[in-house]
Amino acid sequence: EDQVTQSPEALRLQEGESSSLNCSYTVSGLRGLFWYRQDPGKGPEFLFTLYSAGEEKEKERLKATLTKKESFLHITAPKPEDSATYLCAGGGSQGNLIFGKGTKLSVKP
């Protein structure tokens, strides 16, 4: 069965304290590994797609990496505006996304 698991469920950081979010996946015929950011009351906002092991992508303070079993979202020197829920999803063979339950990140000033 296709499955995506994210850890930790919640993460509290001080401003400037770097950390990583984990996404483990088992998705048959994976068609991309996707990261989204979701703010309260809003739909998920697309961040990155990774297609092959070893691939990395960066955007501002965020860097996503991919191995054959896991993806990591590294947050460098976070700011309070980075507070959100970060969602990881595997692209399924039917074109749908299989989502994890997310990591809720809080960054305190």
Partner 1 sequence: GAGVSQSPSNKVTEKGKDVELRCDPISGHTALYWYRQSLGQGLEFLIYFQGNSAPDKSGLPSDRFSAERTGGSVSTLTIQRTQQEDSAVYLCASSGRQGTQPQHFGDGTRLSIL
Kind and range of the H or E run holding 105: strand 103-108
List the interface residues with partner 1, window 9-28 (CB under 8 A): none
Work out how close the CB of 47 gets to partner 1 at its nearest, in angstroms, rounded to a whole number: 9
The number of CA neighbours under 13 Å toward the Cβ of 94 is: 4
**Residue that is written with structure tokens 């590294």 in the block:** 74
78 vs 98, beta carbon nearer partner 1: 98
7 vs 18, beta carbon nearer partner 1: 7
The answer to whether residue 40 forms part of the interface with partner 1 (CB under 8 A) is no
Identified binder of partner 1 from the candidate list 12, 28, 45, 108, rule CB under 8 A: 45
Instruction: Write the CB contacts of 54 (distance below 8 Å, at least 6 apart in sequence).
Output: 66, 67
